[in-house]
Amino acid sequence: MDFMSVLKKRGSLRLILLLVGTAAVIWVLAFRWQQSRIINRVSIVGTNLLRQQEIIDLVKLPASRAVRDVNTAEIEHRIQKHPFVKSVSVFLGASDALTVTIEERKPIALVVSKGKQFYIDAEGHLLPYRLTEVVLDLPILSGLGRSSLDSIRIASVLATMTILQQQDAQLYKTLSEIDIVSNGDMTLHFTESPAPIRFGGDEDKEQKITRISAFLHHSGQAHDKFKQAAYVDVRWQNQVVIHPSN
């Protein structure tokens, strides 16, 4: 190896060391600048039912409002305890804002049980009854208070609601109430139906819902036939039975 090659290699090494050192200095300065920044605002993303102020209250920024004093994991932990929060992420970006992204639990029904009211979401989580930022027009689940609330019965009702929404979303929007008796049988009430519909248990629910949908979407003449009915029964295979009020 000649002398010039050695000099070139030493020069390249010095250049590399210089670049590495410069990068390290820049990183340290950037880190110090980042830690000394002041948070001037809190940005809440994803809320619909919840007031943004109640999430801001849970953030609890330190008096210094300095980035170095903010523990995003602790903030996430506090907000995650809110019953209407399904998931949360807290992010400190390059701006002066702390961004909180919320995924809310969405109630799909109002449960009336033993004189108390509470919401339930599609996963079966019970949520406290409260005022929300938007008006909730939800079907009522009644009769669950006649016996103890249990996960199997709730799952059965929610599975029926899910299939109804999947098979006939328009009819699902008119569902006003599901009454559950002690053996788990359900009676469905629709705003489009002048009579309640005895559904039974959740067995063969797809076929039952298909019959209900076809029956209620039939001509107006079909509605005239059961305006005075006591109830409609779809518990029998391939049948829709109308029971007159007398």
Buried b (16+ CB within 10 A) or exposed e, 128-166: eeeeeeeeeeebbbbbbeeeeeeeebbebbbebbebbbe
Q: Is residue 197 part of a domain?
A: yes
Q: What is the pLDDT along the chain (246 residues), one digit of tens a residue?
A: 554 554 455 566 666 666 666 665 555 445 555 556 788 899 999 999 999 999 999 999 988 888 888 899 999 999 999 999 999 999 987 678 899 999 999 999 999 887 889 999 999 999 999 988 898 999 999 987 655 677 788 899 999 999 999 999 999 999 999 999 888 899 999 998 889 999 999 999 999 999 999 988 875 555 666 777 889 999 998 888 888 877
Q: Is 174 exposed, middle or buried (0-12, 13-18, 19+ CB in 10 A)?
A: middle
Domain count of the fold of the chain: 2
Distance CA 101, CA 4 (A): 59
Q: Are 132 and 50 in contact (CB under 8 A)?
A: yes
State both tokens at 204: 């063969």
Q: How far apart are the first and last CA of the chain?
A: 112
Which residue, 59, 88, 104, sits at the end of a domain? 104
The amino acid at residue 17 is L
Q: Do both 91 and 180 map to the same domain?
A: no
pTM above 0.85, yes or no: no
Q: What pLDDT shows up at residue 108?
A: 96
Q: What pLDDT shows up at residue 19?
A: 66
Domain at 59, CATH number = 3.10.20.310
Reference 234, options 194, 200, 202, 203; nearest CA is 200
Q: What pLDDT shows up at residue 113?
A: 82
Give the phi and the psi of residue 70 in degrees, each rounded to 5.
-100, 125
DSSP 191: T
Domain at 177, CATH number = 3.40.50.11690
DSSP 134: S
Q: Do both 184 and 199 map to the same domain?
A: yes
Q: Do both 128 and 96 map to the same domain?
A: no
Q: Is residue 20 part of a domain?
A: no
Q: Do both 174 and 234 map to the same domain?
A: yes
Q: Do both 66 and 125 map to the same domain?
A: no
Give the phi and the psi of residue 34 in degrees, each rounded to 5.
-60, -45
What is the span of the domain harbouring residue 193?
Answer: 107-244
Q: Is residue 5 part of a domain?
A: no
Q: Do both 65 and 161 map to the same domain?
A: no
Q: Do both 236 and 219 map to the same domain?
A: yes
Q: Do both 180 and 211 map to the same domain?
A: yes
Could you count the other beta carbons within 10 Å of the beta carbon of residue 179? 19
Q: Do both 73 and 193 map to the same domain?
A: no
